[in-house]
Amino acid sequence: MLLTLDLDSEVPIYQQIRDRVVEAIADGELTEGSALPSTRQLAADLAINFHTANKAYDLLRQEGIIRINRKSGAVVRRDPGSGPPAPGYADDWQGRLRTLLAEATVHGVPGEELIQRCGGVLTSFHDQRTTKEPSV
């Protein structure tokens, strides 16, 4: 997994790391059991402080997305096939979706285009996964 950061972004570094990992799992690039680099290794690769990488992993752990052992390091715990979401998650998520869709709507993006883009993104997730794991 190649991880590029935008140090000029308003989005905190640890948040960017978290987002990229989540997207990589959705893409199928990482699956349940995949090992992530150690916090020190990741920090060295990204030329950031060790604690910032640590915070990113801590965030992913709090979300239940990765698991951290002293022995095996950071390992992916959830992927799209790991089971249904926690109760209430989807509704919370929809609240954030609503804000995002409202913004695009106000800026004049047609509803049909928004649906198309949603579908396109989801298809890209699915395509990536079926590419990595061809149907037996």
Partners of residue 50 on adjacent β-strands = none
Distance CA 135, CA 75 (A): 25
User: What residues line the site for DNA (CB under 7 A)?
Assistant: 12-15, 38-41, 48-52, 54-55, 57, 68-71, 73-74
Judged by beta carbon, residue 35 or residue 44, the one nearer a copy of itself is 35
Q: At its nearest, how many Å lie between DNA and the CB of residue 50?
A: 6
The interface partner of residue 131, options being a copy of itself, DNA, none and the CB cut-off 5 to 8 Å by kind, is: none
Q: At its nearest, how many Å lie between DNA and the CB of residue 62?
A: 12
The interface partner of residue 68, options being a copy of itself, DNA, none and the CB cut-off 5 to 8 Å by kind, is: DNA
Collect all residues with Cβ–Cβ distance below 8 Å to 125 and sequence separation of at least 6.
26, 27, 28, 80
The interface partner of residue 22, options being a copy of itself, DNA, none and the CB cut-off 5 to 8 Å by kind, is: a copy of itself
The interface partner of residue 54, options being DNA, a copy of itself, none and the CB cut-off 5 to 8 Å by kind, is: DNA
